Structure 1
Amino acid sequence: MILITGGLGFIGTHTTRALLDLGESCVLVQRRAAGVPGPFANERVFVEQADLTDEAALLDIGTRHKITGIVHLAGSVPWPPGAYEPLEGAEKAVRSLLNVFRAASEWQVARVGLASTIGVYGGVPGEGPLREDVPLPMTAGHPIPAFKKIGELLGDYLAGTMGLDVVHYRIAAIWGPLARTPSPFYATPQLVHAAARGTAPDLSTLHQGAYAGNGIDMCYVKDCGRAIALLQLADRLRHRTYNVASGRPTTHGEVIAAIRKIVPDARVDLPEGRDPSGPPHDVWLDITRLREDTGYEPAYDTERAVADYLGWLRAGNER
């Protein structure tokens, strides 16, 4: 039975589905009270309420369920900005991560998976795909990659000193059903939502301009969930860190072309070329490790992903 923190969230929901499809049962931990959602009714899913900063509440879950593995997708980041005083926020973030390790030790789980981010590669020079063994700068321009780096360092240390099997997932830009929109980092979610609603996309929240030629490693959330599930259940992993991604850059222009195959009159035009004030090249992640150790291959190319997401939104789902 796999315990998933943030199991009812965006990536967590799709990871739960993937684990169920692979024959596992799941315990989903949420800070707020929640029942088993409709899509998981009558399946091997249990929902428990616990704040990860509360060690006793988290450990108590192990008295009701035989936990064999942990997938930690909940924040362990002082978020959202301004929600806490700096010291309080940092303390809560680190304490929640340490409590996950306490639970892993208490329950003697087979493997602990920790969500990291493509953002840890920020500041790495050069072009081409980013591999897990590239040296990372010690600085970070945003609290999410900063605390994910802290999490990776703590995970490496505790894996060695506690004898735990710890795996870090460096997750690319994820999009698809249940995503919170708008995205501040890339325009794809806004473009698909606009096409589904017959409106023009609102790109005002983007941190930089949206151009057809700009791209990023965008992994469809169903592929992401399956990759995490495969990493959790693999008999043997040869590495501690894995990129979870599509393994290629996808441009806004490719997304627009896929949208127009389904919605020819969609109002999703963007300026041609690259953002003149943005980075000179795209960033994407090398997924050789993931492929070799789990057999993972992305099932959703751009066209299939756009069609799936449009179908989901047109069926009446808000996000």
Structure 2
Amino acid sequence: MILITGGLGFIGTHTTRALLDLGESCLLLQRRAPRDPFPGEGVVVEQADLADEAALLALGDKHDITGILHLAGSFPWPPGADEPVVGARKALTGLLNVFAAAAAWGVTRLGLASTIGIYGGAAGPSPFTEDTPLPLTAPHPIPGFKKISEVLADHLAGAAGLPVVNYRIGAIWGPLGHSPSPFFAAPQLVHAAARGTAVQVHPARAANPPRAGEAIDLCYVKDCGRALALLQTAGTLRHRTYNVASGRPTTNGEVAAVLGELVPDARLDLPEGRGPGVRDTWLDITRLREDTGYEPAYDTERAAAEYLAWLREGHDR
């Protein structure tokens, strides 16, 4: 059984489905009151706070946990919810408790979710490989704490012999995703097309709104979930770190054009070009392909059409 922290979240839900399709059973851990979107499908849902080490370790007495996929956020969030030192302590305590559980249960693999944002400030053009040297600083708490997580993982893999693998996840869009996003424009473009409204700009981008020429490694959430499931269940992985993405850049203009074909009266006008300081980022997924056989199943057209249809069914995320 694979324990998935954040297993009822955006990426977690789709990853659970992909693991079930591979014949795995899953234990989904949720801090808030649990629900079960997979009744009768080899899924158990438990409620526990990662900051409570005893409650987390007690799950090993109830379930035969052979692997952990840590998708819950190990960073202070939302910003300002706690005093900075308190927020950092909570984030790191939860992460360290996951490491402790992996050691106590002797899992075969501990997968840690990282982010494409970890490449922010890295030298050189895209596509970025997993060996790209990274600066120590980060402009946002999420990539900052993901860097801390990866350094801790490297240390504990050697010092404690933990089978840790880092998954650097691209810009993920699709059903259950949040809009607007402060990091990329695709979700709000789809929501605008579905609702017949203008594109909503996240407050963090108000001074520098998304432009048509800006590109990022956009990966549909079902592809992301399948890639994570393949990595988590692979018999042998040759590397400590893997990029999980589509392996190509997608511009905002490309997404808007596809949506314009699907919804001719959509209000998706975007300024041309790229904003000041905006850098196109996409990832090399050679390792992922070679070690799992993964190939993205969704191009922009298929992803946008499915996401749009899901929203038009009445879903609000």
Task: With the length of structure 1 as denominator, give the TM-score of the two structures.
Answer: 0.96
In the alignment, the residues of structure 2 paired with residue 204 and residue 84 of structure 1 have an alpha-carbon distance, to the nearest angstrom, of 23
The correspondence of residues 98-247 of structure 1 with structure 2, limited to 5 A, is: 98-207=96-205, 208-247=208-247
Please give the secondary structure, in 1, of the residue aligned with 2:62: coil
In the alignment, the residues of structure 2 paired with residue 141 and residue 262 of structure 1 have an alpha-carbon distance, to the nearest angstrom, of 36
Structure 1 residue aligned with 2:277: 278
Deviations, residues 225-266 of structure 1 (Å, cap 9, x unaligned): 111100000000000000011111100111011112211111
CA-atom RMSD in angstroms: 1.1
Which segment is superposed worse, 202-211 or 124-133? 202-211
Report the number of matched residues: 315
> Tell me, which stretches of 5 or more residues in structure 2 are unaligned?
none
Please give the secondary structure, in 2, of the residue aligned with 1:286: coil
In the alignment, the residues of structure 2 paired with residue 264 and residue 42 of structure 1 have an alpha-carbon distance, to the nearest angstrom, of 41
Deviations, residues 54-102 of structure 1 (Å, cap 9, x unaligned): 0000011111110010000011111111111111111111111111111
In the alignment, the residues of structure 1 paired with residue 220 and residue 254 of structure 2 have an alpha-carbon distance, to the nearest angstrom, of 14
Given that residues 131 and 285 in structure 1 are in contact (C-alpha distance below 8 angstroms), is that contact kept between their aligned partners in structure 2?
A: yes
In the alignment, the residues of structure 1 paired with residue 200 and residue 162 of structure 2 have an alpha-carbon distance, to the nearest angstrom, of 45
In the alignment, the residues of structure 2 paired with residue 185 and residue 31 of structure 1 have an alpha-carbon distance, to the nearest angstrom, of 25
Amino acid paired to 1:269: D
CA shift, 1:206, in A, is: 4.7
Amino acid paired to 2:277: G
CA shift, 1:209, in A, is: 2.2
> Tell me, which stretches of 5 or more residues in structure 1 are unaligned?
none
Runs of 4 or more off by more than 3 Å in structure 1?
none
Structure 1 residue aligned with 2:266: 266
In the alignment, the residues of structure 2 paired with residue 167 and residue 296 of structure 1 have an alpha-carbon distance, to the nearest angstrom, of 17
Question: Percent identity, aligned pairs only?
Answer: 71
Amino acid paired to 1:163: G
CA shift, 1:283, in A, is: 1.0
In the alignment, the residues of structure 2 paired with residue 311 and residue 304 of structure 1 have an alpha-carbon distance, to the nearest angstrom, of 11
CA shift, 1:203, in A, is: 1.5
Deviations, residues 102-157 of structure 1 (Å, cap 9, x unaligned): 11111111000001111111111221300000111111111111110010000111
In the alignment, the residues of structure 1 paired with residue 168 and residue 35 of structure 2 have an alpha-carbon distance, to the nearest angstrom, of 30
Given that residues 4 and 70 in structure 1 are in contact (C-alpha distance below 8 angstroms), is that contact kept between their aligned partners in structure 2?
A: yes
Task: With the length of structure 2 as denominator, give the TM-score of the two structures.
Answer: 0.97
